[in-house]
Amino acid sequence: MSGLSLKEFFDAVREGHLLAQRCAGCRELAIPPKAFCPSCHGKEWERVELSGKGEIASYTIIRVPPASLAGQAPYAVAVVRMAEGVSLLGRLVDFPLEAIKVGLPVVFTPLIQGDQPLIAFKPS
Ligand SMILES: [Zn+2]
C-alpha cells in the first residue's frame, strides 16, 4: 500500500480528518507521515484515520511567540496522547489557559491560519 504525503496529510487536516500511517512490518503508527518506519525502518505503510480523541500529555503556554504569531499570544501548545497510542503536537483552542491540565480529554479540530491548516485540539 502507498504511504501518505505531507500534502495529503494537511489536505485531510483542513477537512477535519486526522490521517496516520501504520507500518506494514511492525504495525507502528506514524503521524505526521514519515518515509521510513522509525522502529523497523520499513517503508510499506497502510493509511489509517484516527478517531481524533486523546488527552493532554504535556503543554506549554507560549507568551513570547514567533513574530508571525505575535497577535495571538498567549496561547497553549500541547502534546496530546491519541486514543490510538501515538502522540501529536498541536495548538489548544477554546480552552481558558488557566483551565488547561495534564490528562484533560481533547478532540482534534483543524485550525486554519492564513491558508495554512494546523493541528489543534479543543475540549471533548
Ligand atoms: Zn515498522
Query: How remote is the CA of residue 38 from the centroid of ligand 1, in Å?
Result: 7
pLDDT digits (tens, 9 = 90+) for 101-117: 999 999 999 999 888 99
User: What tens digit of pLDDT does each residue of 31-63 get?
Assistant: 988 889 989 999 999 999 999 999 999 999 999
* 3 alpha carbon – ligand 1 mean position (Å): 13
111 neighbors 93 (Cβ within 8 angstroms): yes
Q: Cis link prior to 74 (omega < 30° from 0)?
A: yes
Find the 16 Cα to ligand 1 centroid distance in Å: 27
pLDDT at 1 over 60: no
Q: How far is the CA of 99 from the centre of ligand 1 (A)?
A: 38
Q: Across the chain, what does the average pLDDT equal?
A: 93
Beta strands in 1-124 (DSSP E): 19-23, 29-30, 45-49, 53-62, 75-82, 87-92, 105-113, 116-123
CA of 40 to the centre of ligand 1 (A): 4
Q: Which domains does the chain have, with CATH numbers?
A: 6-49 (no CATH), 53-123 (2.40.50)
**How much distance in Å is there from the Cα of 57 to the middle of ligand 1?**
24
Calculate mean pLDDT across residues 114-121: 93
What mean pLDDT is predicted for residues 15-38?
93
> What is the structure's pLDDT at 4?
86
pLDDT at 2: 60
Nearest to 121 by CA among 75, 63, 69: 75
Q: What would the mean pLDDT of 77-101 be, rounded to a whole number?
A: 96
